[in-house]
Amino acid sequence: MKFPATRRMWWLIQQALREVVHLRFVWIMGFIALVMIAGVSVLREFNFGTEEGRFLRNYVEATLALWGTVIAVILNVAMVQGGVERGALVLTLVRGVQRHEWLLSRWVAVAVALAWLTLLGYVTLGVLLVRHGHVAPVSELTLAGGRMFLRLMLVASFALTACVVARGFLMATGLALGLTLAAQLSSILEWAGRHGGTNTNWGWQILSWVVPAFHVLDGSTKALDTLLYASGYAALYALLACAIFSRREI
């Protein structure tokens, strides 16, 4: 009986999600929620007047961005490199699964995990804001949550590419975090490209094209443009990872 490709992909994603849960991801989400709640309680001891809501929101979003970045990188590395080292990849390959299917299923599972994390973060934020008497506009928080998710998905795409380029856990993590930092500084790179000397000009400019700019995701561009931009780069990095992985020796 031939397993249709879509069903096989769906099955692989389900297995990868089970693995994510067994990596204690739910516990980690709970821990992050506790950190948010505890931090908000501490912040409320200070007097920020009418700006308290803004302080609380900044804190929760920064916590989510920081933890989300770390989780996106480490989870990806654990799922991909761990899967290769544990032999999970071999057992699927001998059963007719294509390499890029296995890799993409891991990426999608990480995306779902990051979506859960983002949802938890913004629901917690909304509840905390309302509980402490501040305005929590649903549409604004939804858009902010969407941008945060796109940011974390880009980090996950970096980590996916890093996993297939670098062999070791440490190298892959370092490379992924390096790409994230470059994305954070992308506007500086572009500025350096425009204002630097002739030799460095094109170098920095090219680097700013290869690495997406995170500041595009901060709400200064239109929602659709942001979505297309982030999705485009995430897809490019995922395709690059699939291309490399399909030729890599196991």
Partner 1 sequence: MRCWRVRFFPAVKFRRYTIGLGVLALLAGGAALHPMTGAAGRLMSGSERSTLLGGYGTIIADYLWLETNLAWEIRDVTKVRQLIDLTMKSDPQTAYYWLNGARILAYDFPAWRCEAASLAPLAVQANWRMTGANEALLLLERGQRWHHKSAVLHLEMANICLYGLGDRHRAAEYYRLASEQGDAPEYAVRIYTRLHDEEVAGMLLTR
Partner 2 sequence: MNSAHPLAIRAESLVKNYQTDWKGRRRRALAGVSFGVARGCVCGLVGPNGSGKSTTLKILAGLLRPDAGQCEIFDHSIGQAISRGLIGYLPESLEMPDYLTGEAFLGQLAQLAGLSAINDKISRALALVGMADAAKRRVGEYSKGMRQRLGLAQAVLGEPAVVLLDEPASGLDPRATEQLGAAIRQLRAQGRTVLLTSHFLPQAEEWCDQLILMEGGRVIFTGSHTEVAVSGGLQHLYLQSTQL
DSSP symbol at 215: G
CB 210 within 8 A of CB 225: no
93 binds partner 1 (CB under 8 A): no
Q: Match 């505890």 to its residue by tokens.
A: 38
Question: Sign of torsion, CA 66 193 207 203?
Answer: negative
- Residues 159-178: x/- map of binding to partner 1 (CB under 8 A)? ------x-------------
228 binds, among partner 2, partner 1, none (CB under 5 to 8 A by kind): partner 1
DSSP assignment string, 59-124: HHHHHHHHHHHHHHHHHHHHHHHHHHHHTHHHHHHTTT--HHHHHHHHHHHHHHHHHHHHHHHHHH
From the CB of 104, what's the least distance to partner 1, in Å? 15
Count of beta carbons in the 10 Å neighbourhood of residue 110:
29
From the CB of 97, what's the least distance to partner 2, in Å? 7
Residues 6+ apart with CB under 8 A from 149: 114, 115, 118
- Restricting to residues 98-157, name those near partner 2 by CB under 8 A: none
193 binds partner 1 (CB under 8 A): no
From the CB of 92, what's the least distance to partner 2, in Å? 6
* Residues near partner 1 (CB under 8 A): 43, 46, 48, 51, 54-55, 58-59, 61-62, 65, 165, 184-185, 187-188, 190-191, 206, 208-216, 218, 220-221, 225, 228-229, 232-233, 236-237, 239-240, 243-244, 246-248
* Residues near partner 2 (CB under 8 A): 1-3, 8, 11-12, 15, 19, 22, 85-88, 90-97, 249-250
